[in-house]
Amino acid sequence: MRLTGVLRLAALLLALLGAWVVVQSYLERGWRAVSLRSWIGATGRPSGSQPPRHACGNRERCPGEHFAFKIVSGAANVVGPSICFDDTVLMSGVRNNVGRGLNVALVNGTTGRLLRTAIFDMYSGDVKELETFLMEITSGTLVLTATFDDPATKMSDKARTLFTNLGSSYASQLGFRDSWVFLGAKGLSTKSPFEQHLKNNQETNKYDGWPELLEMEGCAPRKMD
Ligand SMILES: *[C@@H]1O[C@H](CO)[C@@H](O)[C@H](O)[C@H]1NC(C)=O
């Protein structure tokens, strides 16, 4: 009886030892797997920790019934401007559809669809082309504009007035090699809040002969009027 009791106790201890060994080795493998995963994570986590990307690469997400946009003017006479609307780059150097002067994209303000893009050489071009283009814009159209190099040598009072009627505050004073970005609309009854202007000024110019480029991003309400 006594011997059986000792054997039983020994068998129980053996079983406990076996269980401990199994659990221990399992845990160890588990730890190794965990530490390997965190090591991989430290060198190249695929994503998840990056800040969310919004339309046009903008900092803010636009509320419903709004279109995200980003307009960047040209840098001196070197880097072309770019116009993004509703997460689509409408005009850029990469798309090869920008040029010196005024770069303009027309968008349907209800659907957000691109109607057309145009470049107006304002140094040696014919301003009549710009005037005709601006006069033909129909109500409900959004007008996105970015300058590159010189937007004003051939500028006319008529073209300035047409831009002013689209909601611009600075078209009337746009000068030689100024930087200007603007989003307006045909039929706007007030001044557009989406406009920036930098005068070409030897004292403050960032580049030799040109001011700093302008970058404007925001959310344009659908049917801006
Ligand atoms: C915008 O698109 C709508 C729907 O296709 C159309 O009815 C409207 O005339 C367009 N407006 C402009 C300014 O293109």
Instruction: Give Cα 147 to chain centroid, integer Å.
Output: 18
* 141 CA closest ligand 1 atom index: 13
Determine the pLDDT at residue 22.
64
- Judge if the beta carbon of residue 141 lies within 6 A of ligand 1: yes
Distance 136 CA to ligand 1 centre (A): 15
Determine the pLDDT at residue 49.
59
Determine the pLDDT at residue 48.
53
Determine the pLDDT at residue 213.
85
Distance 142 CA to ligand 1 centre (A): 11
What is the dihedral angle through the alpha carbons of 207, 208, 211, 213, rounded to the nearest 10 degrees?
-40
Q: What is the pTM of this model?
A: 0.76
The residue among 123, 198, 196, 199 whose CA lies nearest residue 155 is: 123
Specify the 3-state DSSP secondary structure of 119: strand
Determine the pLDDT at residue 207.
74
Strand partners, 220: 67
Determine the pLDDT at residue 160.
98
The residue among 152, 144, 87 whose CA lies nearest residue 116 is: 144
For the chain, first and last CA: distance in Å? Answer: 101
Determine the pLDDT at residue 183.
98
Determine the pLDDT at residue 40.
44
Please count the other Cβ atoms lying within 10 Å of the Cβ belonging to residue 111.
11
- H helices present in the chain, as ranges: 2-44, 127-135, 157-165
**Gap between the Cα atoms of 98 and 101, Å rounded:** 9
- Judge if the beta carbon of residue 108 lies within 6 A of ligand 1: yes
Could you tell me which residues come within 8 angstroms of residue 201 by beta carbon, excluding any fewer than 6 positions away?
211
Distance 170 CA to ligand 1 centre (A): 28
For the chain, domain boundaries:
1-50, 55-221
Determine the pLDDT at residue 5.
77
Distance 110 CA to ligand 1 centre (A): 7
Determine the pLDDT at residue 34.
47
Distance 164 CA to ligand 1 centre (A): 23
What average pLDDT values come out for the chain (225 residues) when binned by 10 residues?
A: 73 73 60 47 49 87 96 87 97 95 97 97 96 97 96 96 97 95 94 94 79 92 82
Atom 12 of ligand 1: nearest residue by CA position: 108
- Judge if the beta carbon of residue 138 lies within 6 A of ligand 1: yes
Q: What burial letters (b/e) apply to 54-74, b meaning 16+ CB within 10 Å?
A: ebbebeeebeeebbbbbbbbb
